[in-house]
Each structure stands twice: as structure tokens, then as C-alpha cells.
Structure 1
Amino acid sequence: MEQIQVNAPFAMPVIKVPDFSQAPVFNILDFGAEPNNKLKNNQAIASAIELANKVHGRVLIPQGEWLCGKIHLKSHINLHLEQGAILLFSEDPNDYLPAVKTTWEGMECYNYSPLIYAYECENIVISGQGKLKAKLDIWQIWYARPEPHMQALAKLYHQMSKNEPLIERQMVFEGANLRPHFVQFNRCKHILIEDIEIEDSPFWVLHPFLCSDVVIRRVKVKAHGHNNDGVDPEMTQNMLIEDCIFDQGDDAIAIKAGRNQDAWRLNTPTKNLVMRNCLIKRAHQLVALGSELSGGIENVYIHDCEFEDGTQYTVGTGNMVLLKTNERRGGFVRNIYVSNIKVKAVKGGALAIETDVLYQWKDLVPTYEVRLTQIENIQLENIHLQQADFICKIEAQADAPVKNIKLNQVSADHLTMPAINNINVIGFEHN
């Protein structure tokens, strides 16, 4: 195991990830793989994974383009893509059946399998100089949210709110169109993703859910579709994201912690997360927290990153840090540190906190239980924006004021609004 010690303003545990440098290699060519032969490639990859699992081995994807369907990883596996190798994932939803235990925006359910999926596994690596790419033919049609899709979301929301068993939350039916994640690790530990490129995605790109000891390093993600966040850590602990490049149609990193009743039941905060030395070419926000944060978020340190997004990308450009929640979420956010960020121009500001964000859910479904989010101890330091609307805008609830916000050496050259515009904040410093 590789042991990684990370410096942070809080007690950060050593992160342990597997080392497959001396592992036996299983080339998918030896199992009958053929370029553009989806069936043979599916069989070859599955067979290689089966054997590699038994001996802690490396599944090798050689140079070339390999059309495939879903890949289900097992414990003690290194999926390694050679330089010039492309795993091209089919656009056919049927290739991601049968349905698996997964999630949709913080709600557990049975849905289409993520393109790459692992459930209750340990010691997994995805590595190499190759590329993971999703064909979008069908998924981009599903980006739209017509009435049948919205009613499917409402159905799942009601099932979650009533704590109906997971087995009853079957979301693969005509018109539901809940797109799968690209890569989801569900209840896994000791995960390493390094060096690969990822292009396009049906939904969230990298999604560790209820995981521990996760490292994502030197990864390039380019996905401009709907809900195409780069990384969505959710109820995951002890995680490092470093030296990555993000070019996203949504947030670069969106830190989650489950939604409402599901998260209260699972009762696992997202905790001990460090992101450093990353380049964000395009994104709605450099980092978003929420709105699914009902399990709580604490101990986050983001530093020495560059946010290139600027006036050339004014459409969809948001904030450097956005924390969003609503009266249904509960949970908490505390001990968030952001420092040494290079920012050109944003449409919002350095820090925005919104506590009444419901989007399409506002009129779609009712509030079953009111629980306000406790937000405290957020610190931004050494950040200079060339252009923005504001520096800090906090809209908190009178019954749950935001506490202890400190902005140290946070400035901007040009603003279109007042620099500070806060409501219901206790303990605010701006030096």
C-alpha cells in the first residue's frame, strides 16, 4: 500500500491506496478482445477482471479503441490503459442493465449501472495514459427534463422521504431517463485514479459514494454535458485530489453528503478532503458544496489551484466557492479552508452562500420535514479576482445564521456590485 500524508489545517489521516507496480498483467487481447466488437470486448474485460481479482492483478487495455458496455470492477484490481488506448462506452442504455444499487442526486435507488462501477470493493486502481470516453448519442437527448422525467424524480423523492426500501425504488422505466454516472465507487475503500483522461459523460463524471481513502491525481476531465461535474465526493472520507485538469459543463468539484432522509439514515459526513494544484479551465464553480449535504460536510482544504474561467466563458460562469442548501436538507458545513487560488474573472464572487436553493424541486414536491443547515467556520485566504460581481454574498436564514466567516487578503480589481452583501451572519471578518 502507498501511504500518503497530506498537510491540512485539521487532523488529516494518512491515506492508503494500493500499489500494483509489481502485479501480474492480464491483457484483454489474450481474452479475445477486438476493436469495435462490443460483445467480445465486454467478455474479454470481464474475464480479465475475474482472474485479476484472484491474484491482485492488472487488467491491461492496449493501444486502440475498444467499444464496450458497462465495466464492473472487483476488489484488488488495477484497470490500466496504455497510451493510445481508448475505452469507448456504448450509448445504448440496455448495455447498462440490469439495474444496480446506485444513486441519483443524493437519493439511493436502482438505476442503470454506471459505466464503470464498483460496489463494496477495496483496493482498486484506474490508471494509465489512455482515455475513457462516453458516446453521447442517447444520453444527450436525455439531458432534457420533460414531464415524465420530472415525475420519475418526484416518485423517487417521495419514496426516499417515506423511507421506502431501496429494492422498491426501481428507476428504470419508460420516460424516467435517469442517466448513469460515468465512474461510481459505491461503499468502497482504498481507491486510486491517476493519469487517465476522461471525455464526455452521461451524468456526474467521478463519484465516490460512501467511500474512504480515495486519491485522484494527474487526471484530465473534459465533459461539457448536463450535470457534468468533474468530481462529486459524497459521504466520502479521507480523500485527495491533486494535479488534475478540469474542463466541465458544471462544477469542477461538487462536494455532496446525501439528500434528506437518506442521508440522515446513513449518517456519514463527507470529511477530510484536500484538493490542491489543480487547473480549472471551465466550470460553473471551482468548488460547490451541496445542495445535497444532509449528512454534513467538514474539514475541506482547497489550495494552490488556478481558475482560468473568465470573460471568454461568461455564460454559466459562477463563483469560486458556492455553498447551497435549503430548508429540507439539515446537515452541517464547517471547517472549510480555501487559499492561494488564482482567479481571472467570475460572474459571481469569491464566496457565495445561498440557503434557499430548490431549483426544479420547489414546486415539484413538498417539504416533508424542515431541517436547516448549520454553517460555520469558513476561511478564504490570499485570493485575488480580476473581475467579479462581488467578493462575498451570504443569504442565510434568521433561524440558522451563518457563523464565523473570515476573508483574509481576498480582493478584486473590478466589481459590478457591493463587495460584501451578507444577511444573517454572525462573526464576519474581511481583512
Structure 2
Amino acid sequence: MPSTRQTLIAGIAAVAVLATGCAGAGGGGSSSGGDKSINVLMVGNPQMEDIAKLTKDTFTKDTGIKVNFTILPENELRDKVTQDIATKAGQYDVATIGAYEVPIWEKNGWLHELGSYTAKDASFDQADLLKPMVKSLSGSDGKLYALPFYGESSMLMYNKDVMKAKGITVPERPTWQQVADIAAKVDGAEPGMKGICLRGLPGWGELGAPLTSVVNTFGGTWFTKDWKAQVNSPAFKKATNFYVDLVKKHGEAGAPQAGFTECLNAMSQKKVAMWYDATSAAGSLEDAKSSKVAGHVGYAYAPTVETKSSGWLWAWAWAMPKTTKKADAASKFMLWASSKKYEKLVGEKLGWARVPAGKRASTYEIPQYQKAASSFGDITLKSIEGADPSNPGVQPRPTVGIQFVAIPEFQDLGTKVSQEISAAIAGKTSVDKALNDGQKLAEEVAKNYQ
């Protein structure tokens, strides 16, 4: 792992800990609490906050296994989980990782194979998992190395009331130019409302994710098939300039610090009229308990330019580090957390719109879920099934991946380049300088593969 990663990891500050089963428990060593206690590290998204609230009175009550959750913002989560698993620290028994990490970490021998556990649990029904999810979470041997908690692609979300008041019809399959034109028209439609929210927070999985999907459809790529860096190529520059200009002109307040969580809040609290991001956000937007726009959101496919589609593909999934000494208890938790039974629990306890969807075909056949997700369920499922990690742009790629490049170095490369582009959004540097600097970094990475 690059020394820069070590420096970044060393700088991680306060850890937000939420424990179930007993107040004050946290991400302690994996031996704490005996075999009836496991430590789970996960990203601080709404679906994870839901499971932290539900576990004690359901899973723990039924199994006697106490679950200590450590919940972190996405960038901090990535640093923490990489540090723990790569160094074999063994602090956590389960961690949420995604489609980027699984094949790389499996190859490094860091993860438990999980197919043998799903095979022993008939109720889990692995065949019900959506094929894109299974493929993205499998290793080079074809075996499953992570269980999807929820899956997602990306889409455009918009305030229907604002559009109606302005006489605007949002196309089901918009182009990015159409989105930019609409953003200009709805900017200021209500007091304090901006036209669109796009992530500006540095991080290969924060700003880097939507930006790379925009780069793809503008005809750009990080690398050619033969590993020639393309970060300052005309298409990459055109896409990045478009993105930065759109955010600067019509984007959310505090854009350089806005990631998924901040944009979710901005959209749900009527601070922005549109938002391009993960399909998994829809469940939170449709939750009337926390969202002011529930029932008033329209959904469209990810905007395009030169490609037929541009939605990304991701799964936040449960993985078990090989360092755990509690594989049996950890596997029981993961099987439950990704089960049909858990989805039903969320639907009945918290509302069907909040079900962690995007991973099972059967979810989209549940009448209650169909009703709750009537405005976004079909677009979500079709976007996931239509995503093509092997061919996301207009040219052949050296690796799979839509919003990332599936090599270990991209974690550092993507983050550094995103930091420069975020600075461009903040007006502290130019896009040209950001991408020229990024090109040099990408060229160094490319040497490892040429």
C-alpha cells in the first residue's frame, strides 16, 4: 500500500461508534465479549443506520450474538477498513466493502469465501441475488466473497413540483446538456434553492464516482486498453469542465464539502431542485418522516452524451476478513443482514421504501414494495441490469469498472485527482492544472501495467 495511504490513514480522527446490545461498546478487539459478540465496521448511509437500530431486538434477541457497530463517513470508512484488513489487524469481524475492493482483496487472500455459508442456508436463496451483484462481488475463482446489503446504479432525481411550476418536462432519458439547461431554469425557483446537487467532496468514491460516469459518457476514460493515461485528454477535460462549471453556476452551497450524505440532505430538505447520484437514495427521499419531498420526486435514467447509458454499478456488501476468529457468528449476521427476512423486517418496521433493495429479484415482486417504490423501482432495477462494467464508455478498457478503475492504485490516484478537481470547484485552481497534475500521477500508475 502506498506510503501516502499510510499517511492518510494515520490522520483519521474521531470514530463514530454506535453499539447495539450494550451501551458503550465499540470497535474493540475481536476477542471482546467472547464468541457471542462481533464487531462490524460499516459506512454511515441510511440503510446502515437502520440495521444498527434493528439488530438488538431481532438478530441479537434470536441468536444471542451482540453486534458492535462502528459507523464512519465513506472516506473514513475506506481508510479504516483498508488499514484493518490490509495490515491484518483483526479489529473487525465484518466490514462493508464494495465492487471495487472485492476482486482485488480476494486476490490478496484477505477475505473469507462466503459461498459455502450461503449454500448451507436454504432460506438465503443465493439464486435470487441479481446477477450483476453476484458477478461484481465474486473472486477470480467465481466464488462469492461478499454478500450484498444493497445494490445501486445512478440516476437523476428531481422535484416534480418545481418542474411543474416552471413548465418543465424532464425526459426519462435526458442528456447532460438538457440537465444543465434545466438546472439553470430552476436555480432560485424557491428561496435558497439551487438548480442541482453534484458531489464535490474529494474521494475516489465521492466526487470521483459521479464524475467518472460523466467522463465515460463524454467519451473519456482514465486509461486506454493498453494503459496509456488519458486524464488530460480532450474528452476527459470536456467532461470535467462541464461538471465543474455546472456545480459552480447552479450547484449546492458548499459544494467542495458535499458528498452523498450532504446532497441527500439538500434534496430532501428542498435546498436543490435536482440531484444526480445513487439509485439507493430514493428510499430515503420517499421517507415522509425525514424527507420534505416524499411523494414529490421524479426519477430519470442517468444522463448521457455519447453512450446509450451511463449509470454506474455498485453494491455495499458484507465481507469477512480472514483475520476474524468468529467466522460462525459473523456469517450468521451477514446471512441475516442480506436476507429476504431482513428486507421484510425493514418494510414492516420502518416502511417499505426504506428496504435495502437493488440486490434481489424477489424484492421487486413484493406487493408492498412495488407500491412504495412505484416511482423509482423500475428505473433502479433496469439501471442495475443494464450497467456494463466491461464496456462503460466509447472505447475498450484495460479493466472492469464504471465509476472506478479496478486496480489497487486507483484508490490513491482517484482520491488525489478528485482533491484537485474539488479545489477547482472551490476556485482555488483550474481544471487544466488539476488534470495535468492528474495525468502525471496516472502515467506513473500506468508504468506498472505497460
TM range (shorter): under 0.3
Higher helix share: 2
Relative contact order: is structure 1 or structure 2 higher (C-alpha 8 Å, sep ≥ 6)?
2
Taking structure 2 as the reference length, what is the TM-score of the superposition?
0.24
Taking structure 1 as the reference length, what is the TM-score of the superposition?
0.24
